[in-house]
Amino acid sequence: MAALKQAPVTAVELMDRAALRSVQGKPGMPAYLHELDDEVAALLVDARAADRETLDRDVRQIEQSLADMSVVMPVAFTYDPHEYQALWNIRKGLFPAVGAVRQTGTTVIIEDVAFPVPELATAVRQLQALFVKYGYHEALIFGHALEGNLHFVFTQDFSTQTEIQRYQGLMDDVCALVVDGYGGSLKAEHGTGRNMAPFVEMEWGSDAYQLMWEIKRLFDPENLLNPGVILNEDPEIHLKPLPAADEIVDKCIECGFCEMICPSWDLTLTPHQRIVSWREITRQNASDPAGERLKQLQDDFVYQGWIPVWLMVSVPPAVL
Ligand code: SF4
């Protein structure tokens, strides 16, 4: 990987065998995915240049960088847009592939950790061993290899204590592996959500953690800004499932991909925000049905939640 770091690449995406297996056989996926051994991993190497001559030269340099790497198939670059789009589709299809096959009532967990680049291969092996230890046989790993950034994805059932303990064991071991084992980072390119909030102190130490709280309380004394995200006083917040809210709403994995393309962005709520709000309404309804917070949420939802839906169903798409 160190050799590729010096090469003129724009992206190097790592996919483990479980990741490749999750998309093999799907439309547009290469047939050779079926034939790969259980131990392989794939690197998708992307290079770009302003002209063909430069690109040819860059590709030759990248091929030289890979010359000493042990490979199961010849290293091959393509200039055909259909072919390289198909290769990128493998990578981009990984996260949705897990969400698509999850059982109703389970949650898709995606995490985002970073290891030192020279130790990335060993770290992947150890991460895979933790998935085996805790029985997460469908868990897959992909990531941005040159940054040592790995995402791992799996589904989790929070409906039984046994399942919750299994998840707790995995998360404890994964965080210990990243922080104590490698001095890595529990968040690489994405923000710290409630799932990783209980481990912020472990990563940064008590002094830094207390300082973060002091700053948070200075700027947000009423805890209005993203309460519970990044900093959370509940050490088991990551073990609390999303409430079942509605057959359609429950399919949402809160990836946030709908935010940027939503026509109601800046007007009211996006689909993601509506879903999060509806989940909170459901949660409040179950825990404090006479509470002021529930009433406030329901009142706000009349405009923030329903108006864009009414608009979209009542205004012809051509007008929108
Ligand atoms: S509704 Fe939005 S946040 Fe939910 S799964 Fe679909 S794209 Fe992702």
Where in the chain are the domains?
Answer: 2-94, 244-314
**What is the reported pTM?**
0.83
Distance (Å, whole) CA 76 – CA 57: 15
Tell whether the model's pLDDT for residue 243 goes beyond 90: no
Which tokens hold the place of 317?
A: 């798409």
From the CB of 253, is ligand 1 less than 6 Å away?
yes
Task: Kindly give the number of the ligand 1 atom that is closest to the alpha carbon of 99.
Answer: 5
From the CB of 252, is ligand 1 less than 6 Å away?
yes
From the CB of 258, is ligand 1 less than 6 Å away?
yes
Tell whether the model's pLDDT for residue 318 goes beyond 60: no
Sign of CA dihedral 281, 285, 287, 293: positive
Half-sphere exposure in the Cβ direction for 244 (13 Å, CA): 7
Region of poorest pLDDT, from 86-100, 110-124, 179-193, 228-242: 86-100
From the CB of 12, is ligand 1 less than 6 Å away?
no
Tell whether the model's pLDDT for residue 320 goes beyond 60: no
